[in-house]
Structure 1
Amino acid sequence: MVLQIICFCCTWGFILFCIWSASKITMKGTNYLKTLHQIPCSRCRFATNDHRLKCTVNPYDAETEAAIYCRDFEPKSEKDASDCGCASKKFYQANT
């Protein structure tokens, strides 16, 4: 009878510890994601959208937490965001 009570308490203690641990990990992950969403590189004029050179001004700090307070951040203008220059270029089309 005593062994059953000890096993019961240990089992519930383990279950409560697992729930507490999972909630702590979830809160930590949520806070980390909030921090990552503050990185302004995707909205910056100097971002290249290339994995080899992410930023032309600060290539080592680009897409990291150090870029949150980047002093060289300059928002993309409407022209930079919408016009890639593709419409003005004439591409060679092969006749098939």
Structure 2
Amino acid sequence: MTETGQARIQARFAACAAAGRAALVTYVTAGDPDFDTGSAILNALPAAGADIIELGVPFTDPMADGVPVQLAGQRALKAGQTLKKTLAMVT
């Protein structure tokens, strides 16, 4: 039986609470600054202690994002990041 994404997140928060610690929730923009470096960062996060990783998909009009995320998206897009490449990072 597989867990839904929401159930997995709830289980992770519960495990952290049971261990008496806060969860470390991270965010990275896929492909920033380039595909290889972004992939290496993404793959290193669990060993660095990340409990939950949010992977942002860069797009051309990120008006709801703050400046650092906007700049990360611009770098990723300039380096050739696409939705297809983003999905390849997590499959």
Q: TM-score, normalised by structure 2?
A: 0.25
The structure with the largest strand share of the pair is: 2
Q: Which has the larger radius of gyration?
A: 1
Q: TM-score, normalised by structure 1?
A: 0.25
> More relative contact order in 1 or in 2 (CA 8 Å, sep 6+)?
2
